[in-house]
Amino acid sequence: MGSISICSGFSRKAKILEISGKIIELLEVKSGQSANGEWRKQEYILETETEYPKKICFMAWGDKIDQFNIQQGENLAVSVDLESREYNGRWYTDVKAWKVSRDGADDSRPYSSSSQDPYEAPSATSIDNTDIPF
């Protein structure tokens, strides 16, 4: 366990990025209000168990936080989407979990689309000035 892999998904164009390793830290749940309503997210630190371990911060949004029920010390395989955004001339990348597997078993369902994007970023007025507004 402890790898990062990219494998072909459901079509030739789709790729699935999966990271695996041990959860070494759970960060506090953050919440706020955006134009689309209330939002909440939680970030986790996963450390790969490879010759040269890497620490990777990924996040879960909304109901996925409770659905995944990630605990410190667990070994997981996490399927993620990557998304980068520009803000004031700098680029920031989000690593968003959409599926979590424990011990090779599929413990969650993949993200399904709905009318409201669960990854909707909060508006700049919904967070304090120390945070980046997305």
Q: Mind listing the pLDDT tens digit for each residue in 33-61?
A: 999 999 999 999 999 999 999 999 999 99
Separation CA 78–CA 101 (nearest Å):
6
Could you give the dihedral angle defined by the CA atoms of residues 121, 125, 126 and 131, in that order, rounded to the nearest 10 degrees? Answer: 70
* Residue 113 or residue 1, greater confidence: 1
pTM of the model: 0.69
Separation CA 31–CA 2 (nearest Å):
30
